[in-house]
Amino acid sequence: MVTPPDISYGNIIDVIVSPSVYKEYVASLFHRAFAVSDFQKIPVSWGRSEKSLRTKMTMPVSLTGLSPATFHVSSFNDSYKIEGEDPQLIFDISALSVSGRNSGLLKFDFNCIEKTSESRMQIFCWGDERDGPFEASSVSFIYENGTLIVLIGAFALVGWIASSKGTSF
């Protein structure tokens, strides 16, 4: 049996990790301390205030014309039809000049034709060394038909705001 080292005053253990692991660790600390991951109906409220907010927002890049990768949905009359339990649209923005440092809001119009109950949406943003979505880099909210404005910067998605190059959402 090995006795664990005494880590009291004067006894320090240095742990060496790669820069990417350290960056992930720091992001997770910020996320636990500051992130809000459930916006309830804030995106709906902000969407309804679009006209008054318009002068305070800039559009660093337009996503119009980007074709998303789709999962559990099919294209249907300029819309998407849900065909499974986990519908997803993934937009690859790696070729665009957009990152968490210059983009804090995501604005889009959404319409669910056959919505019968209160439904939730979840948005993931990732970049830099991340190859895909992860829960700590997501926000969820209750949606309604119309314009939605989602805060993806500041403390909402710490991994996104810290990224130097966004890749997907």
Top mean pLDDT of 28-32, 137-141, 147-151, 164-168 is at: 147-151
Determine the structural domain holding residue 53 and report its residue range: 36-168
Least confident of 36-50, 84-98, 137-151: 84-98
Whether residue 11 is contained in a domain is answered as: no
Does the structure show a pLDDT above 60 at 162? no
Whether residue 48 is contained in a domain is answered as: yes
Distance of alpha carbon 59 from alpha carbon 90, whole angstroms: 20
Backbone angles phi, psi at 105, to 5 degrees: -130, 150
Distance of alpha carbon 69 from alpha carbon 23, whole angstroms: 28
DSSP state at residue 67: P
Judge contact between 158 and 134, C-beta under 8 A.
no
Residue with tokens 């000049």: 97
Q: Give how many domains the chain has, as a whole number.
A: 1
Q: Which of 60, 141, 42 is nearest to 96 (CA)?
A: 60
Which structure tokens are listed for 39? 């916006």
Distance of alpha carbon 126 from alpha carbon 157, whole angstroms: 9
Which structure tokens are listed for 130? 């991340």
Instruction: Work out the mean pLDDT of the chain and round it to a whole number.
Output: 77
Whether residue 145 is contained in a domain is answered as: yes
Does the structure show a pLDDT above 60 at 26? yes
Beta bridge partners of 121: 141
Question: What single-letter amino acid sits at 55?
Answer: T
Whether residue 130 is contained in a domain is answered as: yes
Quick count: other Cβ atoms within 10 Å of Cβ 148?
25
Whether residue 115 is contained in a domain is answered as: yes
Does the structure show a pLDDT above 80 at 39? yes
Cα distance from N-terminal residue to C-terminal residue, the chain: 49
